Amino acid sequence: MKLRWSVLLQWEALLVALLVATFVIGSSVAEAFLTGENLSLASADLMEKAIMALGLTLVILAGEIDLSVASVLGLSSAIVGATVDAGVPLSLAIGIALLAGALAGLFNGLLVAKLGLPSLVVTLGTLALYRGLAFVVLGDRAVSEFPQGFTDFGFNNVPGTLIPWPAILFAILALATFLVLHRSWIGREVYAIGNNEEAARFSGIDVDRVKVGLFVASGTLAAVAGVVFTARFASARPDNGLGFELDVISAVLLGGVSIFGGRGTLVGVVLALFLIGALRNVLALEDVAAEKQSIAIGTLLIVSVIATNALRGVQERAARRRSAPSPADQPT
């Protein structure tokens, strides 16, 4: 049975508190912060990274990492640009881009699961490879002629509201990821693999297949992010999203997902995404340059880990005290 205060000590609760604090402080220092227009624009700006974070969360929970997501975004954007430029209908162009993302993820997954290579190294290689392919596909051109409906999706809000269309797409994808991760057997297998791969294998989980699946999901979601990015900026360039991978990883880790896998929730990651977005937005309204905002993000990332370490210490001590008579009841 859980005690009330231990719920309050959960990382997600702290993230909510930090988010509220950012909103309170933000609205008092920057007048423009708490306006519908600003929040709408700021959240639209988050969407590519948010969509990539969904897939990366799954991968990191399973104890692996995918550094190639931003390059897949660039490749997907380049493919959409090149195919539309060549006269391919938009829906087919998007389909090709998503397929390329899935294949990119499949390649990562096969190298990691079938050859047993470390994912950090594999996806560092494919980070360069996929970005390189983006340049091969599009050269140094930029394509900015797209059908009206496509750019409307990127620029406009849902009629009558301030909700950007990409946010709706993100909500659907996030809900689907949530259901898979927290309400299905696949999610339980992901956590099992992340906690102890060996044990997961012995308990009959097809670890290799799950891992390949996760990388395919990560690649596909990154490709979706590439399509959204292209629509929002009405621009397909091979260097789109350059360097985004570190931002996305930061968000996932800040969300309380352990870099060693097996621990963390999607809710935490989504909260962390909004926290980073709100923080950056407030700082930007105060004329702090993006690179200097990064000091805050970096500090938050490090402090979050030290804080969770400390929290876990407190929780474990409390748990030990509570269940001292019957050690078998200890939460794991």
Partner 1 sequence: MLARPEVAPAAEPVEEVRLGRRRLRAGALLDLVGRVREAGIALALALLVLVVAVQEPRFVEPDNLEEILLSVSILAIVAVGQTLVVLTRNVDLSVGSNVGLVAFVCADTLKGSPGTSVALIVLMGVLIGAGLGVVNGLLVTVGRVPAIVATLGTLYIFRGLDFTIAEGQQVNAADVPDAYLSLATGHVLGIPTLILFAAAVVVVASFALRRLRSGRELYAIGSNPEAARLVGVPSGRLVFAAFVLCGALCGLAGVLWGARFATVDARAATGFELAVVAAVVVGGVNIFGGSGTAIGATLGAILLGTIENALSILKLNPFWLQAIQGAVIIAAVTLDALITRRLQRALRRARRRRT
Which residues would be at the binding site for partner 1 (CB under 8 A)? 111-112, 115-122, 124-133, 135-136, 139-140, 197, 243, 246, 249-250, 253, 259-260, 289, 291-295, 297-299, 301-302, 305-306, 309
Q: Find tokens 């974070």 and name the residue.
A: 53
- Minimum distance between the CB of residue 136 and partner 1, rounded to whole angstroms? 5
Nearer to partner 1, 162 or 296 (CB): 296
- Minimum distance between the CB of residue 65 and partner 1, rounded to whole angstroms? 8
Q: Is 292 exposed, middle or buried (0-12, 13-18, 19+ CB in 10 A)?
A: exposed
Q: Which of 67, 140, 135 is nearest to 104 (CA)?
A: 67
Give the whole-angstrom CA distance, residue 117 versus residue 63.
13
Nearer to partner 1, 45 or 208 (CB): 208
Give the whole-angstrom CA distance, residue 221 versus residue 105.
10
- Minimum distance between the CB of residue 160 and partner 1, rounded to whole angstroms? 39
What are the φ/ψ torsions at residue 257 (nearest 5 degrees)?
-80, 130
- Minimum distance between the CB of residue 327 and partner 1, rounded to whole angstroms? 23
Residues 256/308, Cβ–Cβ less than 8 Å: yes
Nearer to partner 1, 51 or 283 (CB): 283
Instruction: Output the six-digit token pair for 277.
Output: 């977005």
- Minimum distance between the CB of residue 132 and partner 1, rounded to whole angstroms? 3
Nearer to partner 1, 1 or 306 (CB): 306
- Minimum distance between the CB of residue 246 and partner 1, rounded to whole angstroms? 6
Q: Which residues contact 7 (CB under 8 A, 6 or more apart)?
A: 13
Nearer to partner 1, 141 or 322 (CB): 141
- Minimum distance between the CB of residue 200 and partner 1, rounded to whole angstroms? 13
Nearer to partner 1, 128 or 175 (CB): 128
Residues 194/262, Cβ–Cβ less than 8 Å: yes
Q: Is 155 exposed, middle or buried (0-12, 13-18, 19+ CB in 10 A)?
A: middle
Instruction: Output the six-digit token pair for 255.
Output: 């969300």
- HSE at residue 317, side-chain half, CA atoms within 13 A, is 6
Nearer to partner 1, 35 or 299 (CB): 299
Give the whole-angstrom CA distance, residue 296 versus residue 304.
12
Nearer to partner 1, 243 or 327 (CB): 243
Task: List the helix and strand counts (H, then E) for the chain.
Answer: 14, 0
- Minimum distance between the CB of residue 256 and partner 1, rounded to whole angstroms? 12
